[in-house]
Each structure stands twice: as structure tokens, then as C-alpha cells.
Amino acid sequence: MSELMVTRLLLDPMGAEAPDGEPGQVVQVSDGRANVYLEPDEFEELDQGIIMAMLSRAIPRPGGDTTAPAADRRDVQWPCG
């Protein structure tokens, strides 16, 4: 199982990392191939297996580049639908 990268983000300014110790307003979880975005409470409630399943269904970014600018990302937000 690959390691998950978790980044807590703010909505204002959009996409800025939350200060250390703060939950942020959105949690970005990446496996290096794709991202999913969760609310902080949702992230805390889900186990790693469910998050990995969500990532496996996400549309991968071309080349799996985790440093691609936001405009180049093909991320999937959860819940879908």
C-alpha cells in the first residue's frame, strides 16, 4: 500500500496550506497518482482503506505529478454524484 500525503488547506486564500495544528477547511489526500478532497470531519471518520478505494477510482493526473499547478490537475472531489 502506498503512503498517503495529507495536506490541510484553506479556502481563503484558496488552496493555501493551513497553519500547523489547524484542521483547515479542506483536506487533500494524495497517493502520488490522484487526489481526493474531503471535509476535515469526514477525513477523521474514514479509515485508510476507504480513502485508498476512493483514490483508486479517482482520475489520475498525467504523469502522476503531485507538483502540477492546479489548472493542470485532473482531481476528483468526493462525494461524486
Q: What is the pLDDT of residues 14-62, one digit of tens each?
A: 999 999 999 999 999 999 889 999 999 999 999 999 999 999 998 876 6
Q: Which residue blocks in 14-74 are alpha helix, DSSP H? A: 40-45, 48-57
Say which amino acid occupies 15: G
Residue 68 has pLDDT above 70, yes or no: no
Q: Residue 60: its pLDDT value, please?
A: 79
Q: Residue 36: its pLDDT value, please?
A: 93
Comparing CA positions, the residue from 46, 69, 19 lying closest to residue 4 is 46
Q: Residue 35: its pLDDT value, please?
A: 92
Environment class of residue 53 by beta-carbon count within 10 Å: exposed (0-12), middle (13-18) or buried (19+)?
exposed
**Local structure of 31: helix, strand or coil:** coil
pTM of full prediction above 0.95: no
Q: Residue 73: its pLDDT value, please?
A: 41
**Which neighbouring-strand residues pair with 26?**
9
